[in-house]
Chains A and B, each alone.
Chain A
Amino acid sequence: MLAGTGLSPDLVSDFKALTAYPFMVNAFEAGTIVAVMAGVIGWFMVLRRQTFAGHTLSLMAFPGASAALLLGLSAAAGFFVFSTAAALVIGAAVGRSRSNRGQESAVTGSVQAFGLACGFLFLSLYSGVLANYETLLFGSFLGITTSQVRVLALVAVVALAALAFAGRPLLFASVDEGVARARGVPATALGLGFLVLLGLAVAETAQITGALLVFALLVAPPASAQLITPRIGLSIALSALIGVLITWVGLALAYFYGDPVGFYITTLAFACYVIARVARALRDRAGGRGPVLLGTRAAEGPA
C-alpha cells in the first residue's frame, strides 16, 4: 500500500526505508510516547481491576471526535473532554461503594452505551461525510503531524508526573483499600484522580490504535509484565518496554505489508500475553508457585 517494497533480509536498509518518510518518523515517535504512557498507567489499571472502566473511557474517543467534528474543533480536544467527563461521572457514581461490583459495572456500561449513542447521533447530524469512522475506531498511523506529537508528549509528561507524585499512596489504596483508608490515605479522591489520568491515557492511545483497540497497549503489556515479575518497579518498566516493542513491530509490519496497524498491534499483544501466561504456568509447574505480584493471584482463580 505504501512503499511497495516488502521486508528484506537486510535490516539496515529496512530501517532506512522505515525512517525515510517524515510521517513514519512521527508515527514512531507518537507510538513510543503512547506505548510508554499506556504501559505505566495500564499497569495500575490492571492492578486495580478497572479494565472495564478503561475500555469505557477509551470508547469516549468516538463521541469526542464526532462532537469535535460537528463543532469544527480538533479531534484530540474532543477526545480529552469526553474521556475526562466520563471519568468524572463514573468516579462520582461509584464513589466509595467499590464493593458493589454489579452496580459499578452497570454504571460503567450505561455511561459507555450512552456516550457511543451520542457519538452516533453527532455523526448522523454531521450528515455522514465522516466516511472514515473506521479510522476513529480502529486507528491509523498515517498523517500524524509534528504538532500532534508535541501535544502527545506534553500530556504524557504531565500524566506521568502526576502518577509519580501519587504513585505510592495509589499503590497502597489499590492493594488494600481498607487499610489504606484507616491509615488516612484519601482512597476515594485517589480513585477519582486515577480515573481522570486513565481517561487522558486512553485518549492518547486511541489516536494511534483507535478507540476500540486501546486495550492492546493498555492491558496486554501490564498483564504480561505482572505475570513475569513480582517486583513492582521492574514490572512497570517491563510493561512500558513490552508496549514500545509491540508498537514498533506493529508499525513496521503495517508499513511493509500495508494492512490495518490495529490488527498487527492487537495480535502481537495477544501473542505476548499468551506467551507470558504459558511461561508462567510452566515455571509454576517446574518449581512450585513462584512469587506473584500483590493481588494478581486472586485473579487466577480459587486456590
Chain B
Amino acid sequence: MFAHEFFRNALLAGTFVALACGAVGYFVVLRAQVFAGDALSHVAFTGALAAAAAGLDTRIGLFGATIALALVLGVLGPRAGADDVTIGIVFAWILGLGVFFLAVFSAGSSGGNGLLGARALFGSIFGLGSSEARLAAIVGALILVAVVAIARPLLFATLDPLVAAARGVPVRALGIGFLVLVGATAAEATQAVGALLLLGLLAAPAGAAQRLTSRPYLALALSTAFAVAAMWIGLALSYAVAALPPSTAIIATATAIYLLAFGLTVRPPRVRTSEAAN
C-alpha cells in the first residue's frame, strides 16, 4: 500500500494533521472549548466555499475564515472563552452565509459544485497532491511547535487563571492566541477529514488521554499519540476496505479509542494543579 503515491501523500499530511489536532485538542478539552473548536471547524466550510465563489485558492478561504472567527470569539467572550450562546448564534449565521456562497458558486459553474461542497464538508485525504501534502505537513508541524512553545503558560492560565494573572501570565492574550491556533488547526484538518468530522480528531483522543492520566504533559503526549494512531489505523482500514471512506475510518477509530478509555476508567482523574504551577 505504500507503493501508491496517493497513499504516501495521505500518510504524510495525515500524520502532521493528527499531530496538530492531538496537541491542540488536549487544551481544547481541558479548557472546555470543544464547542468553539466545533464552530471554527464548521466555519472552515464557509471559508472554502467563499473562496471558491470568489475564484481564489480554497486554502486562503479556509485559513482566513477560521482565524478571523477565532479572533472574534476570543475578543467577544469573557476571559477569552466565548460563551455557548454567542458561539452558537455567530456560527449559525456564518454557516448560513456558507449556504449563500454555495448558491452563488453553483450558479456560476454548473458541474462539480456538489463535489467541492462534499470535499469541504467531509474531506478527501486520498485526493491530496504531493505539494499540497507537503504544505499540510509544514503547517501541521508549525502548529505543533507553537502549542509546545506556549504549553507551560497556557496550562497555568487554564488551570488557575487568577493566580496565573497575578504571576504576570498574559491570560487573555494566551486565550486569544490559543483560539487562533485552534482556527489554524481546523483549517488544516479540513483538508484531511473535512469540516464536519475534524471535531472527532480534536475531542476524542484528548478526551481519552485525560481520562487515562491526570499528569498534564503525559496527557498531552498521549493525546497526540492517540490522534496519530487513529489517523494511521483509519488510513490503513480504508485502504483495506474499499467501501469505507477514509474520513469515516479515521473518526471511527478515534471514537473507539475514546470508548476504550471510557470503559477503562469510569471515574476520571482530576488534573493535578501542582505539577503545572511549579
Contact = CB atoms under 8 A, between A and B. Distances in A.
A121 B96 contact: no
Contact of B204 (A55, A110, A215, A302): A110
Interface stretch (A168-176, A255-263, A286-294): A255-263
| Most A C-beta atoms less than 10 A away, residue of B32, B89, B91 | B89
Interface stretch (B64-72, B79-87, B175-183): B79-87
B212 interface: no
A112 interface: yes
Contacts of B258: 106, 110
A231 B150 CA distance: 45
Contacts of B247: 117, 120
B121 interface: yes
B42 A263 contact: no
B100 A220 contact: no
Interface stretch (A27-35, A44-52, A179-187, A234-242): A44-52
Interface in B76-132: 78-79, 83-85, 87-93, 95-97, 99-100, 102-103, 114, 117-118, 121-122
Given A52-B34, A109-B204, A121-B245, A301 B92 contact: no
Contacts of B29: 102-103, 105-106
Interface string A40-60: 000000100111101100010
B146 interface: no
B122 A109 contact: no
Classify the interface of chain B: helix, strand, loop or mixed.
helix
Contacts of B42: 212
A252 interface: no
B233 interface: no
B165 to A, nearest CB: 12
A116 B196 contact: yes
Nearest to A223: B85
Contact of A263 (B34, B97, B114, B121): B97
Contacts of B197: 113, 116-117, 120
Contacts of B114: 131, 133-134
Interface stretch (B4-12, B52-60, B248-256): B248-256
A124 B93 CA distance: 29
Interface stretch (A2-10, A73-81, A152-160, A266-274): A266-274
B85 A262 contact: no
Interface residues of A, number: 61
A294 to B, nearest CB: 15
A29 B193 CA distance: 38
A203 interface: no
Contacts of B97: 263, 266-267
A219 B204 contact: no
A109 B182 CA distance: 15
B272 to A, nearest CB: 15
A215 B34 contact: no
Interface in A176-229: 210, 212-216, 219-220, 223
Interface in A78-128: 93, 97, 100-110, 112-114, 116-118, 120-121, 124-125
Contact of B85 (A93, A106, A210, A299): A299
A102 B96 contact: no
A106 to B, nearest CB: 3
B248 A106 contact: no
Interface in B174-224: 194, 196-204, 206-207, 210-211
Nearest to A52: B35
Contacts of A107: 207
Given A55-B35, A117-B251, A301-B78, A219 B199 contact: no
A114 B89 contact: no
B134 interface: no
Nearest to A224: B89
B102 A109 contact: no
A55 B42 CA distance: 11
B93 A301 contact: no
A101 to B, nearest CB: 4
B99 A262 contact: yes
A220 B102 contact: no
A24 interface: no
Nearest to B252: A117
Contacts of A110: 200, 203-204, 207, 254-255, 258
A109 B95 contact: no
Given A102-B31, A212-B95, A55 B118 contact: no
Contact of A260 (B88, B103, B207, B210): B103
B74 interface: no
B95 A120 contact: no
B38 A270 contact: no
A266 B93 contact: yes
Contacts of A244: none
B78 A300 contact: yes
B235 to A, nearest CB: 14
10 contacts: A105-B34, A106-B258, A131-B114, A220-B88, A266-B92, A267-B97, A269-B93, A270-B89, A270-B93, A300-B78
